[in-house]
Chain A
Amino acid sequence: MTFQLGSSLLDACVLAVLDNGDTYGYYLTQQIKTVMEISESTLYPVLRRLQKNNYLITYDQPFQGRNRRYYSITASGKILLEDSRREWNDYKEKIDTILEGGNGE
């Protein structure tokens, strides 16, 4: 990818995936990897940070004789996601204005 990815954009993408339903670390990583070039080890710190800030919670569910940790978006996580979507749209439009040759006027 040519463009650098900020951590707040990555946060928003993780929350967007979780907004479609609870899921677990491996699946989440594969989902994000379909759209972004991230190292697989990038996501754990992100998830931990989001959890610490109460944007998501975790719960364990038994799966094939072991526990699987699921991540679930919280109410404040949804608010953050909405804010991020709005800001991303503003940002996208501004960049488009320049890149597409001033069609924003």
Chain B
Amino acid sequence: MNKQQYLRKLKRLLKALPKQERESAIQYYEEYFDDAGAENFQAVANELGTPDEVSRQILNNYLEKQNNAEKAVIPKKSHKKALIIWAIILTLWFTVPVALGLACCIIGVAVSIASVYIGIVAAGFVAVACGIVGMVASIIVATSDFSTGILALGLSLLSIGVGLLLLMLGIWLFKITLSGCKKLYKKLSEKHKEKKKDLLKKEPEIIYEGSFEQEAENNEKKY
């Protein structure tokens, strides 16, 4: 390997660095070889180590510097936190009235549906009750006027029948609504869980591999 090949390989290995960092390193080593003298290239290259080793040392140092820089930036993060809290307050400020309105709407609809059901059930009760009273009354009427009594009896039985049907309808509607609510609740809670799972799946990305740290340790020992 001659100087050009050595430097070209080093350049390729330093691809991960910003251009300015890379150029600076290449310039340093090119100069270094020049100052050592062309005839000493092989000796100097042996002293320096392979392009692999040299590049790792540069990259490690750059990463260390980056980490230190990130540590210094921490105060900015608390600034971000404050922003997030403000955003939450603002969104609550605007969404709470809307949410309250929606809740009132839902409660209103639920109450009106319930009242319809209660009405149906009540009507059924009344019809059955009327039928029973009517039966008693029609039996009394039948003793004096038989045909009118029978007619009244028939009407009373009809009333009882319709009342029973209404009662059944009311209970059935109530059951259906209840199970529907349950299903809706289940679906919503499942969706919520899935969202939580998705969040848990997203693990923080690893910035660099552990081997770099080991390398850094090795370099410390070399000093």
Whether the pair A66, B223 counts as a contact (CB closer than 8 A) is no
Contacts of B29 in A (CB 8 A): 44
Report the stretch among A14-22, A35-43, A87-95 that lies at the interface. Answer: A35-43
| One of B53-61, B77-85, B138-146, B191-199 contacting the partner | B53-61
Contact with A along B183-220 (1 / 0, CB 8 A): 00000000000000000000000000000000000011
Is B58 within 8 A of A45, CB to CB? yes
Contact between A39 and B222 (Cβ–Cβ < 8 Å)? Answer: yes
Q: Which residue of A lies closest to B59 (CB)?
A: A45
Contacts A48-B24, A69-B28 hold; do A24 and B57 have CB atoms under 8 A apart?
no
Is the pair B223, A68 in contact by a Cβ cutoff of 8 Å? Answer: no
State whether the Cβ of B35 lies closer than 8 Å to any Cβ in chain A. Answer: yes
Cβ contact within 8 Å between A69 and B31: yes
Query: Which residues of B lie under 8 Å from residue A38 when comparing CB positions?
Result: 222-223
Residues of B contacting A6 in the complex (Cβ-Cβ under 8 angstroms): 223
CB-CB contacts below 8 Å: A32-77 with B: 38-42, 44-45, 47-49, 52, 66-69
Total A-B residue contacts, Cβ distance less than 8 Å: 69
| Contacting residues of chain B (38-61) with chain A, CB-CB under 8 angstroms | 44, 47-49, 53-54, 57-58, 60-61
Contact with B along A4-16 (1 / 0, CB 8 A): 1111001000000
Q: Using Cβ atoms and an 8 Å threshold, which residues of chain B touch A52?
A: 65
- Bound-state CA distance A39–B28 (Å) is 15
How near does chain A come to B135, taking the closest CB pair, in angstroms? 103
Q: Which of A7, A39, A40, A44 contacts B58 (CB 8 A)?
A: A44
A39 vs B58: C-alpha distance when bound (angstroms):
13
Give the complex CA separation of A66 and B3 in angstroms.
16
B104 on the A face (CB < 8 A): no
How many chain B residues sit at the interface, stated as a range, is 20 to 34
* Distance A60 CA – B21 CA, assembled complex (angstroms): 16
Interface range on chain A (Cβ under 8 Å from partner): 20 to 34
In the assembly, what is the distance between CA of A26 and CA of B48, in Å? Answer: 12
B49 pairs with A39, CB closer than 8 A: yes
**Bound: A73/B117 CA distance, A:** 90
With A44-B25, A45-B61, A52-B65 already in contact, the answer to whether A24 and B53 are too (CB < 8 A) is: no
With both beta carbons as reference points, the residue of chain A lying nearest to B61 in the complex is identified as A45
CA distance A25 to B35 in the complex (A): 9
Known contacts A25-B35, A40-B47, A69-B31, A49 near B223 by CB under 8 Å: no
Given A6-B223, A41-B49, do A68 and B31 touch, yes or no (CB 8 Å)?
yes
Can you list 16 residue pairs at the A/B interface with Cβ under 8 Å?
A4-B221, A4-B223, A6-B223, A7-B220, A7-B223, A24-B31, A25-B31, A39-B49, A39-B222, A41-B53, A41-B54, A41-B57, A42-B219, A45-B57, A45-B58, A45-B62
**Those 8 A-B pairs whose CB atoms lie nearest each other, nearest first:** A26-B35, A45-B61, A5-B223, A40-B47, A41-B54, A41-B48, A40-B48, A26-B32
Q: Which A residues form the contact surface with B (CB < 8 A)? A: 4-7, 10, 24-27, 29, 38-42, 44-45, 47-49, 52, 66-69
